[in-house]
Amino acid sequence: MRMDLVEYMQPHPSATQQHAMELDAPTAPPVPAPDTDQILPMASSAKHREWQNIQQATFVNWINDKLGSGKNSTGLRVERLNTDLSDGVVLLKLLENLTGAKFPKYNAAPKLAAHSLVNLDIAFQYLREEGVKLVSIGSQNVFNGDLTLIMGLVWTLIQKYQIKIKGYTQGSAKQVMLEWLQALLPSCRVTNFTRDWSNGLTLLALINEIKEGLVPTIDKLNPSNKHSNCTLAIRTASTHLKIPPILRPDDLSSSSIDELSVITYLSYFCKPAEAMLLKWVRDTIPHIKVSNFSSDWSNGVTLATMVEACYPGTFPDWRRLRPEEGAENVAQVFAAVKARLGVAPNMKAEELASGEVEDLKVMAYIFRIRNGRLLTLSGEVSASGPGLSSVMVGKQTYFTINTAMAGPGQLHIDAQDMRGNKVKFSLMESRSTIVVRYTPLHIGELTFDILWSDQPIANSPFTARVLDSDSIRIVDLESHPTVVHTNQPIQLDIDTSRSGYGFVTAYFSYNDSKRNVFVETTSDGKKVSLSYTPGTPGEATLRLFWNNEELTHLAVHYTVVDHGAYKVVSYPEKRLYRTFDSAQFSVKSSGPSLGQLHMTAICGEVQIPIGFRLIDGKIGYASFVPTLSGKFRVEVACAGQLVEGSPFLVQVSDPSKCIVKTHPPKYLSIGEAHEFTVSTKDAGEGEIQFSCQDGRKVEENFRTRLAQDPDGTQRLFCMMISRHENATVGAPVEFVISVPSPLLKPVVKAIGKTAHYNVTVTTADSINYKANFVPWEVGRHEVAITYGSYHISGSPVEFNVKPQSGGGAYTATGTGLQSALTGVPSQFYILTRVQGLIENGTLSVSVCGVVNKVEGRVRVRDNRDGTYSVAYLVHEQGAYLVSVQVANQHIVGSPFRLTASLGPRANMCRMYGQALDEEAMLTVGRPIEFSIDTTGAGSGKLTVKAIGPQGNEAKVFLARNQKSAVYDVKLDPLTSGKHRVSVKWADVHVPGSPFVLKIWPGIDPSKCKASGPGLHDGVVGSQAHFTIDTRQAGAGVLVVHLRGMKNAFKINMRPADEMDRRTLIAQYEAQVPGEYLISILWSDQHIPGSPFKVRIHGQNADKKKAGGLAGGLATPLHSQVDLSAHVEDDDVQGEPYDPQRKSRLARIFYKSDKSNKANGIDHTMPNFSRSSMRSKSIATMTSQAARSTSVQQNASPQKMLVVSAKDSDGIDAGGSAAAAGKAEAAEQTRHKQVFEGDATVLRIKPNKGQKKPHRRRKL
């Protein structure tokens, strides 16, 4: 805290001269004292002396009040500030009473100046420890009686311990107090602490605000009677609020009164005002504990709750706030209050969230909210509903107007049709929602002008189209096929854009039976799409219903056929047919007539119809005769769908279409190529056979080659070459190659058993090339000669390489003498004339590092043909020397120098990513991603494969990061099921490979089906049911909403049977007539046909009780209750409870008669008092017994559902239920009842010895 003394040296505080004592943060630097030349003399006039005397008297009274009286009296009194504080005793006693501290070691009766200074030093040292920074004042100043500095010290104590200014925010005590009083007394318009209080009326208003009714005659008082008004105010505050009169009425009504005196007196009103405001807050939000105006408001939740309680609709999302996000919560509330009330925040959101804010600033902000009023915002009024879009002639409709966010105002609606006639309507209001009902009488457009306080609401005026069901049509019905196949979807689009608000249902009926199959539909508001796959052949009809009324003019008749009943069982025998040959095949039927088949042979634009030449029972034999060459595509189809085994190809050729264009010469020369051409482009597929013989009928001295030109011309090359019967190791092998053109160079490749040679090809002349290489390996060799990517005739050439004979040096050759990879064996060969060098110890081979001196492992094998195979292995990178010695003498080139690079190390690879998470839900249609880090794995090739059920291989996409050795892998599985994933680096499994991924079918709400009489109109008191089929919808969450009259009926859910838990049966018995909407959602998406409108009819006497859309809304129409539970495939671990969701949640488990406490199951449900039952409910449903609220009473040998749910006031909990399509065996589980917030949740924990759930694990 910093003490600024200028304020106490001015004769009278003015707009430019007022300096209040401010509290600094503990780390704030001290401020130097002002220059004495700037201090005005306080005794310059009588008015100044009066101002000083009032302030000194006020400070003296404040000190004496704090020193206490009666039992709490210290026995000390102060008369003059400049003398009575000089010994330090009074100051120490004052600090003890203000702070509760005790100072045992001080001079209670000082006689010497030193004793007084010691006392003052103790007091000043304590103030410094309290964080009060004292500038330009010390013990000597107080001892010397410096009145100005002493008054500054007293003002510092008043700020610190009376007003309790903490110094967290900017602004002096005067500013904070003024802001607080302006918020508390908005009608008084307080701007200062002098003239606004001199008539006493403002002080009386403050007293009345803190305790209403203390001054009932305040409006009758005369502002001119300042002294009497001030006397009344000070006496009333002392009597009823226990505020000491430290300020006299004469001083308060004086024109010389100073601000600090008034502020000191008014600071006594902070405590009763705080108690009054705290009581108001607790009455407003009784369910939240509030004890202060600092830390209890830092999370923003208390402020948001209070604002919503005072002004409903101002901050409707207060329940979703998370306490740990305090600053963000406060900022949202500040913005909402400013927008709805026009009250701007007087602090930053971060200040309130941190708790480091003055209590008076928080109180001022709350006072402004309490005294505020909602702004009239017509733009915040919204209107929606079917009555503002498309409506049906003669049928009642409605729309709703929401005024929750609009503030006070008055609603006006002007409705008329195209002719200018007024439209009659009725209004029904429930809280901030107004329901408007009307019945259109004519086709056309209706206009609704909706005003709020004479201002148009958002999107006003509104236009509604009046239509009828005759406008519904099927899109492109003319081109829609009426002959369809089994297992082939029938898809139709129905245009309902001009038909108004309603829903379409469809049924597929076979003509030879009374069975009607419900067809699922989806709608986007303008178009209804349906898809149905027939399962059996026959004649059938698709029937459409609009709002439960059959549209007979839109019925579609189908003929369903099964192409899977036919199969091609035999094919034409020959691979290649000639023209006018008969190609025969046969087709078999498993039941239907073969007469439904259509067979055609197609070649280009030519189509040859095919008919059966013989039908023997269920097998038909067919044949056709091609009249031209080419590939014939034979198609066997049933109603446009190819049968199994079709199509197949029949190759037809016509040798008569081969034409020799140029003939070979009469004479041939050795080494000279000769060319002639044969055109086969019209002959179809075939092979040209060509041979060339000499007079002895020997063909091996000739080389021929066949080339295909783009126009179908075959070019034949023929030349005579020399052969190499044998070759010798180390001796060059040479070939002479003749080519037809010098524009293209032949390519020659030579390989041995293991060796690959570099072949040198040089030009001999314009059409001849020489190819040579030196073999170093014994055995069979092969030379491949290609010209223009085609092998020449006779290529590849094979010949034998023999060991050297006679003299010659030892040599070594092979790739292992050029480079090596760590961890990978390298190989080379030693060529000699001698065998047995290993047995007699003459041959030695070593591999040693040049720098690290690490020796490699070496293995030498005698090939028994004068050659030796050498393999060696090194494990570190670097330069190596390979030494080959015979009889301790290096052979030619030894030692050989080479470099070993890093080899592949699969064990260094690391896999990570979403797909490897055991809790991840992997579905078909969504890419499955993970990454492989090959840093430090050396050189190698990454291969990833994922094999699914029945050998189906998932698509694999690999992408390497350009800046690192990380590969991103994406798998796109084609089918669901377990997939075996193998990841290899250089053909070696990486750690964790192979592993298994469980792929689930994709979530498809369109596969859910709901049907039954319970989704149509009913009668009060009658049992109704409907069925929900989720078997084909994949893994997901099923939610059932009921909207309508509160407590009208409850929906009970159970599985169809033990073997089919994915099919659920819902039952209910309506007790109150009305109109209800049943919404069925799969993973937050409506299933086909949802929401379903159900009308419950009753007697006339029940109409008063009817709710929903028929007899009035007892609760807002948009309210809903959710009871949700997981429905999942096997081995999927789900968590249905989500505390972040506002909806009503329930967890459902299946129990059997074996599920008792002995097996670890607790059936005990919590006991609720009558008051707590208003906000909580527990429903227990069994498959046989009547509904009951006790699980123990309903326990039976039958399976049962236990639902724990939350039901809050104001929500139309007309009865909702959700069921699970999968549940684990209750015999192996233990239920534990816990509470989270206002919701009751059943958690499952495994018993000791219970098998753990399936985990993804390495094979």
The reported pLDDT for the residue numbered 19 is: 30
pLDDT, tens digit (0-9, with 9 covering 90-100), for 1233-1255: 222 222 222 222 223 333 333 33
Which span out of 234-238, 336-340, 643-647, 952-956 was modeled with the highest average pLDDT?
A: 234-238
Which helix (H) or strand (E) element contains residue 336?
helix 326-341
Q: Give the Cα separation of 441 and 421 in Å (integer).
A: 11
Predicted confidence at residue 520, as pLDDT, reads: 78
C-alpha torsion sign, points 1095, 1101, 1107, 1113: positive
Tens digits of residue pLDDT in 753-799: 777 787 888 887 767 888 888 776 777 888 888 876 677 767 888 87
With a cut of 80, say whether residue 891 has pLDDT above it.
yes
Average pLDDT for 1107-1117: 33
The pLDDT value given to residue 1158: 35
- State residue 707's pLDDT score: 57
Per-residue confidence (pLDDT) for residue 815, from 0 to 100: 83
The token pair that represents 1188 in the structure block: 């009951």
pLDDT in tens, 339-355: 888 899 988 999 888 88
User: What is the pLDDT at residue 741?
Assistant: 65
572, HSE (Cβ side, Cα atoms, 13 Å): 24
Amino acid 374: pLDDT: 81
Q: What is the mean pLDDT of the chain?
A: 75
pLDDT tops 90 at residue 283: yes
- Separation CA 623–CA 637 (nearest Å): 16
Tell me the per-residue pLDDT of 797-825, one tens digit each, with 9 for 90 and over: 887 877 665 444 688 888 888 888 888 89
- Whether pLDDT at 32 is above 70: no
Please give the Cα distance from 506 to 1089 (Å, whole number): 10
> What is the pLDDT, as a whole number, of residue 398?
93
Q: What would the two tokens of residue 357 be?
A: 């804010």
What sections of 1027-1095 are H helices per DSSP?
Answer: none
Bridging pattern class, strands 576-578 and 648-653: parallel
pLDDT at 1202: 30
Over residues 217-226, the pLDDT tens digits come to 888 899 999 9
According to DSSP, residue 900 is labeled: E
User: What is the amino acid identity at position 1169?
Assistant: S
Averaged pLDDT, 218-245: 92
Q: What angle do CA 75, 78, 82 make, to 5 degrees?
A: 145
Alpha-carbon Rg for the chain, nearest whole angstrom, is: 50
Contact 814, 774 (CB under 8 A): no
Other beta carbons less than 10 A from residue 322's beta carbon: 12
- Please classify residue 1059 by burial: count the beta carbons closer than 10 Å to its beta carbon, then call 0-12 exposed, 13-18 middle and 19+ buried: exposed
User: What pLDDT does residue 244 have?
Assistant: 93
pLDDT at res. 282: 93
Whether 1131 shows a pLDDT value over 70: the answer reads: no
Query: How, if at all, do strands 819-821 and 896-901 pair?
Result: parallel
Tokens 């919808």 belong to 1033
- For every residue of 592-653, DSSP letters joined together read S-GGGEEEEEEETTEEEEE-EEEEETTEEEEEE---S-EEEEEEEEETTEEPBT--EEEEEE
Cα angle for residues 371, 374, 376 (degrees, 5° grid):
145
Distance CA 1219, CA 1060 (A): 13
Strand pairing partners for 760?
772
Mean pLDDT is lowest, of 58-72, 649-663, 1104-1118, for 1104-1118
Please give the C-alpha separations between residue 1010 and each of 462, 986, 1013, 1080, 1221, in angstroms, as whole numbers: 35, 54, 10, 8, 14
What's the average model confidence in pLDDT over 200-226?
Answer: 90
Asked if 1219 and 1055 count as a contact pair (C-beta separation under 8 A), the reply is yes
Give SS3 for 708.
strand
Q: Is the CB of residue 618 less than 8 Å from the CB of residue 589?
A: yes
Alpha-carbon distances of 984 from 302, 444, 894, 908, 952, rounded to whole Å = 58, 70, 38, 12, 19
Tens digit of each residue's pLDDT (9 = 90 or more) over 693-730? 544 444 444 555 555 655 555 555 544 444 455 677 76
| CA-wise closest residue to 815 among 877, 749, 900, 729 | 900
What is the 3-state secondary structure of 526-580? CEEEEEECCCCCEEEEEEEEECCEECHHHCEEEEEECHHHEEEEECCCCCEEECC
Q: How far is CA 247 from CA 59, 98, 235, 256, 257, in A?
A: 9, 20, 11, 13, 10
- The mean per-residue pLDDT over the stretch 674-688 comes to 72
- Check if the beta carbon of residue 172 is closer than 8 Å to that of residue 22: yes
The stretch 124-144 carries a mean pLDDT of 87
Task: Kindly state the DSSP code that residue 971 receives in the 8-state scheme.
Answer: E
Strands of 867-873's sheet, edge to edge?
811-813, 826-831, 867-873, 857-862
Is the pTM above the cut of 0.75? Answer: no
Torsion of CA 21, 23, 28, 30, to 10 degrees: 30
Predicted confidence (pLDDT) per residue in 834-866, tens digit: 778 888 788 899 999 988 888 889 999 988 877
pLDDT band of 1182, cuts 50, 70, 90: very low
Q: What is the pLDDT of residue 270?
A: 92
Compute the distance between CA of residue 124 and CA of residue 329 in angstroms, rounded to an integer. Answer: 42
For the residues 148-156, what does the mean pLDDT come to? 90
* Burial grade of 204 (CB within 10 A; 0-12, 13-18, 19 or more): buried
Name the band, by pLDDT with cuts 50, 70 and 90, for residue 364: very high
Handedness of CA 120, 126, 130, 134 (dihedral sign): positive
In the chain, % of residues over pLDDT 90:
17
Residue with the larger pLDDT of the pair 1124 and 85 = 85
Residue 661 pLDDT class (50, 70, 90 cuts): low
Residue whose C-alpha is closest to residue 788's, from 865, 707, 683, 846: 707
